[in-house]
Structure 1
Amino acid sequence: MDQRLTLPEDGVVSGPRPFAQWDSPPSVKLGPMGAEPPLPPTVAALRDSLHGLADKVMRPIGRHLDRLTAEQVVDKGSRYWEFRREYAKLGIDVAGLADFPAEELPALFTVLFEELGWGDAGLAISVGAGMLPHYMAAKFGNSFVAKTYPETLTGCWGITEPDHGSDMLDSNSAIAHPRGAYGRPNCVARIGDGKVTIRGQKSAWVSNGPIADLCILYCAAETKDGAADPHRGAVLVVPLDAPGISKGKPLEKMGQRALPQGELFFDNVELDIDHLLLAPEDYKKGVYAIHTEANALMGATFTGCARAAYELAFAYAHERKQGGVPIIRHQDVAKRLFHMARKVELSRAITRRVTSFNMVNDQPALQAAMFAKVTATQHALEVASDAVQMFGGNGVTLEYPVEKIFRDARSSLIEDGCNEILAIKGGTLMVDPDLLSPTA
């Protein structure tokens, strides 16, 4: 049988061209998302719309908000709200995502947050946090939230506390010190008689806290004797206009300044039991579930952040001259750009792969989602740092965007669980009981 490649009569081929038609020497430009195979048409169309929003809306607004105080960012006249209005025009919501074919959802999710992260990391996280109450309620099979609260409401996720940061993500005590004592939780819910009563506070790291309408709240659940343990909790959806709720001042911080963050206070807030998404017996599964989703979101967002830094450095290396030539002609610069591009590709690949696995597997693997978050955020910091170095003195000035991207990326190594803690917790999730001896 003749295995030789032949050309169609019109000379046009799809896919790889025969060797004989290659350029000499071969030279290939990667696509807008690197070495990305063709996306499904619907995802590709969404990507084009998102990229336009990220380029024309997110980037200028993100840079503008970066120069403001935290209180100015959340002001009613702030351009933050301009971004939210423009994003809303895309019509991306939890109900709409359910209409996409299941096989397209991994690409859709990762492309969505990569493009948003490319535009502005802080605004991207604000979008993700805004979806969480409805998104997780749907994941948990709860219809009350969708029927009671419109998706136009801005959401937030309240989990970390002033005295319990990563502790709140560690419901199975994987990172606990053997001599440690957690102490009393800062936020506690009492469940009974068809009501839930919440008292206490969540820390200043609640993303969207200062501007949110609806919160998916993770807190300790009080026992019958009045005690409270951070490992025995409850998950609730809380309307933030309920009596007894107040908000702290927006947080001033180094990076992601376009993302409003701030404390939430609960003074004996009473809600109907319908607002309880998960009771104490399912709390650990609830922490596992939302952390899996959040880590995948972080992986995609900071793939986009790294890509933004790389693309700016790549363009600058063609424009800036030193030694009489564009700096990309210097071997060290070319080598640096190669490794920057490699890290972006790795971040995208592992995030897409993990998201695909977790969306089709019987149960998502949190440790795999942690692979994506740790890899993408670490790479984002490294790529952004290299971009600053490549810009030289210009890289540390406010005139060029790479210093802002560097600050945004630096924050990500702490966000949604600091990477060191995730590595420890992820390592414990990798233990295979079947391979251990009975006494181990």
Structure 2
Amino acid sequence: MIHLTDTLSLPSVSLSGFDSPLTEDEVALQSMVHRFARDVMRPIGRELDAMSPEDVIAAQSPYWSAMQEAAALGLDPGLLAQIDSPAGRVESLIGEELGWGDAGLAVSIAAGSFPLEMAKASGKQELIDLCEGKIGCWVITQPDRGSDSINLYTKEMHPGTTQVKGNLTAKVQGDEIVINGQCAAWVSNGAVAQVALCYIAADYGDGFERDDCLTNGSAIIVPLDLPGVSRGRPLDKIGQRALPQGEIYFDNVRVPKRFAVAGKDDYHANLAATWSYAGTHMCQVFTGVARSAFELALAYCHERKQGGVPLMEHQLTRFRIGDMLRRLEMTRASARRTLEFARFSPQKHPHVTAQGKVSVTEEAMKIVHEAFQLFGANGTSKEYPIEKIYRDTRSALIEDGENYMLTVRLGLTASMLYQEGWTQD
């Protein structure tokens, strides 16, 4: 039905763009997280960006105060699920605000909760108590087992090959799991985490390899203060420097078998579910990052003059701003749709979540690139925050799965669905 009005006015708009009306609870939560992002994340993120990786994780680093204040917000997913919000929209609103504040800190906050969320999903109170109040990390990639670590189907490998077991392995021995090796330097929070959710190849007494050429595996929650755990140097990288990443070494680390949340029979299904959940955070965070770049460019184009008038008075600038806004709205829609599927579909799948991550980060990079261009030479100066946002966003095209590799997996999924009858009616 067409609803008529008597006067012409500008469209309704919120912090998150052209939203349908938000509930009072949604507005209150969004406002609270926005203040935290503006007053805590942005200034601390800029400060950490200029520091060495070693100083970022030092005892007196502002990183720790940011994490403490984030924890004080009380953004527990279980509590958020009780809020009346269409299809999990409140989770999207919060993730976007965190990304708007600082990409590196936003990823660190999200990754920090993975072990606790898995402990809650397992229903094991001992593991919940073990993870409560601690910074976590997700150990999934290894130096020789990057993209191979998330192979779910034999079709993802070349004929005649087997899945690489990697540099970090486990042996199940009686009531213990013994872990040896190292994870990749790219593990988010690897340099600071107190507990890890580890997905690693495992030998249950009959070797690592399954009949289908994939590896047996185990998902284990590992306290990182156990004997035999050590760290490498924190990673020095171009972007998201507020996110402490680094290697973790395991030398005959003995973990009680009861700390496992998935074993020989359900490892790959558990991995798929975790990946489906984890990837949605990247979508929300980099929607917020894209929004921050758009807002900076919009303000700059009203301030900077060329040809005697503000940049915004030039028709081409209006087109470029309009195109950025169009892409931002498309990015937000894709991010929310991906989260809805991952949270509410009866048959969620990580390759679906991954396509959302690819779409969001690719569009975010286009938005950030255009904002960078509008700043001209000023954009290359560290005086302007767009330079940092550009570096942060570029990392996202590889982070949490390199985008081309993830798109290959989506193509495989399309083929497998077709072979089961999809689109053939």
Interval of TM-score (by shorter of Structure 1 and Structure 2): over 0.9
Contact 1:162 1:186 in 2 (8 A): yes
Report the Cα offset of residue 139 of structure 1.
Answer: 2.9
Q: 2:202 aligns with which of 221, 238, 252?
A: 221
Structure 2: runs of 5+ lacking an equivalent:
none
Partner residue in 1 for 2:402: 418
Partner residue in 2 for 1:9: none
Alignment of 1:314-325 (within 5 A): 314-325=298-309
- Are 1:435 and 2:418 an aligned pair? no
- Are 1:128 and 2:110 an aligned pair? yes
Report the Cα offset of residue 88 of structure 1.
Answer: 1.9
Partner residue in 2 for 1:345: 329
- The one-letter code matched in structure 2 to 1:293 is Y
- Are 1:406 and 2:390 an aligned pair? yes
Report the Cα offset of residue 225 of structure 1.
Answer: 4.1
Partner residue in 2 for 1:75: 58
- The whole-number CA distance in structure 2 between the counterparts of 1:156 and 1:227 is 24
Moved more, 123-132 or 346-355: 346-355
Contact 1:185 1:228 in 2 (8 A): no
- The whole-number CA distance in structure 2 between the counterparts of 1:96 and 1:365 is 24
- The whole-number CA distance in structure 1 between the counterparts of 2:126 and 2:409 is 33
Contact 1:175 1:421 in 2 (8 A): no
Aligned residues: 418
Q: Note closer, same or farther for the CA distance 1:373–1:22 as it changes in structure 2 (3 Å cut).
A: same
Partner residue in 2 for 1:113: 95
Moved more, 197-206 or 85-94: 85-94
Contact 1:172 1:231 in 2 (8 A): no
Partner residue in 1 for 2:176: 195
Scaled by the length of structure 2, the TM-score of the pair is 0.93
Report the Cα offset of residue 192 of structure 1.
Answer: 3.1
- The whole-number CA distance in structure 2 between the counterparts of 1:219 and 1:110 is 30
Report the Cα offset of residue 69 of structure 1.
Answer: 0.7
Q: 1:48 aligns with which of 22, 31, 34?
A: 31
Which of the two has higher C-alpha Rg?
1
Report the Cα offset of residue 181 of structure 1.
Answer: 5.3
Contact 2:111 2:188 in 1 (8 A): yes
RMSD: 2.1
Partner residue in 1 for 2:370: 386
Contact 1:163 1:185 in 2 (8 A): yes
CA deviation string 1:40-93 (max 9, x = no partner)? 322221110000010111111101100111111001111111211221221123
CA deviation string 1:323-354 (max 9, x = no partner)? 11110111221111111111111111111122
- The whole-number CA distance in structure 1 between the counterparts of 2:188 and 2:145 is 16
Q: Note closer, same or farther for the CA distance 1:164–1:249 as it changes in structure 2 (3 Å cut).
A: same
- The one-letter code matched in structure 1 to 2:118 is M
Contact 1:61 1:80 in 2 (8 A): yes
- The one-letter code matched in structure 2 to 1:246 is S
Alignment of 1:199-214 (within 5 A): 199-214=180-195
Contact 1:350 1:371 in 2 (8 A): no
- The whole-number CA distance in structure 1 between the counterparts of 2:84 and 2:147 is 33
- The whole-number CA distance in structure 2 between the counterparts of 1:353 and 1:168 is 26
The SS at the match of 1:248 is strand
Partner residue in 1 for 2:44: 61
CA deviation string 1:298-330 (max 9, x = no partner)? 000000000000000011011111011110111
Moved more, 302-311 or 175-184: 175-184
Report the Cα offset of residue 150 of structure 1.
Answer: 4.5
- The whole-number CA distance in structure 2 between the counterparts of 1:119 and 1:97 is 20
Contact 1:171 1:231 in 2 (8 A): no
Alignment of 1:204-283 (within 5 A): 204-227=185-208, 231-283=215-267
Structure 1: runs of 5+ lacking an equivalent:
6-15
Partner residue in 1 for 2:126: 144
The SS at the match of 2:156 is coil
Report the Cα offset of residue 170 of structure 1.
Answer: 1.4
The SS at the match of 2:243 is coil
Report the Cα offset of residue 131 of structure 1.
Answer: 0.4
Partner residue in 1 for 2:381: 397
Report the Cα offset of residue 191 of structure 1.
Answer: 1.4
Report the Cα offset of residue 105 of structure 1.
Answer: 6.3
Alignment of 1:21-36 (within 5 A): 21-23=7-9, 27-28=10-11, 30-36=13-19
Contact 2:277 2:342 in 1 (8 A): no
- The whole-number CA distance in structure 1 between the counterparts of 2:371 and 2:312 is 13
Partner residue in 2 for 1:10: none
Partner residue in 1 for 2:134: 153
